[in-house]
Amino acid sequence: MVAAGWLLVAAALSACTSAKDVLEPSAIAPTDQSTALAQAEATDTTAAAALSAQTGLPTQPAPPQTAAITSNIRVQFAPLVGTPVEAATPLTERLGAKARARGIKLAGSTDTTPPGIIMRGYFSAMTEGKDTTVVYVWDVYDSAGTRLHRINGQQTATSAGTGDGWPAVVPSTMQAIADQTIDQLATWMAARPG
């Protein structure tokens, strides 16, 4: 299972042909991997329910899920500010996968039609003791450049022991930020009129 995960990561990284591809989440094209991930999650839920029915034992409740976005608004992620490529890679990969799983339509950097929403992300990493905290801010703009919303937060993780600041940030920290970002974006988009 772990080896399969590393193979997927290696395949995703080998698909990047430049730093621009890594730093622009909108350059991530939809893959069969995100579809497979959604199917695997659905299969796990079905298998757990079947096992519960056979054994009579209760299953653990699934974490709350929010509805998929059904809007036709496309979201484009502008180049990230403040992150090195090593930290941006797990973030951008997870942003793309999570957005597609939530039904958020992504606009690529080469699309000729302007997106409905542009996300501009700003990041900073600070180490204090054994903990490294990544602070992030996403400004959400419409295609005319008007700021509509702001998503911000921070993610703290025990340092990987490889230094201070960005070198200490592990991929799972950036993946957690991507999850939080897409969840907050989806919640905002679902509540937004029109």
The full set of domain ranges for the chain reads 2-59+72-191
Strand order of the β-sheet with 131-142 is 105-106, 74-77, 117-128, 131-142, 147-158
Is the whole model's pTM more than 0.85, yes or no? Answer: no
- pLDDT category, 23, cuts 50, 70, 90? very low
Give the three-class secondary structure for 142. strand
Q: Residue 156 carries which side chain, given as an amino acid letter?
A: T
The confidence score (pLDDT) of residue 70 equals: 52
- pLDDT category, 194, cuts 50, 70, 90? low
- Percent of the chain clearing pLDDT 70 (strictly above): 60
Mean pLDDT of 160-183: 89
Higher per-residue pLDDT: 77 or 12: 77
Mean pLDDT of 127-136: 92
48 vs 58: CA distance, rounded Å = 9
pLDDT reading at 9 higher than 50: no
- How far is residue 130 CA from its own chain's centroid? 25
pLDDT reading at 193 higher than 80: no
Higher per-residue pLDDT: 105 or 3: 105
The CATH number of the structural domain formed by 2-59+72-191 is: 3.40.50
Give the three-class secondary structure for 174. helix
Mean pLDDT of 4-27: 41
- pLDDT category, 189, cuts 50, 70, 90? very high
What phi and psi, each to the nearest 5 degrees, are found at residue 48?
-65, -40
The confidence score (pLDDT) of residue 141 equals: 96
In this structure, of 5-9, 25-29, 86-90, the range with the lowest mean pLDDT score is: 5-9
Mean pLDDT of 80-105: 95
Contact 49, 112 (CB under 8 A): no
The confidence score (pLDDT) of residue 61 equals: 42
180 vs 120: CA distance, rounded Å = 15
- How far is residue 13 CA from its own chain's centroid? 16
> Given CA atoms 174, 177, 182, 185 in this order, what sign does their dihedral have?
negative
Higher per-residue pLDDT: 162 or 184: 184
pLDDT reading at 46 higher than 80: no
Q: Any idea what DSSP says for residue 61?
A: P
Taking all residues of the chain, what is their mean pLDDT, rounded to a whole number? Answer: 74
Give the three-class secondary structure for 129. coil
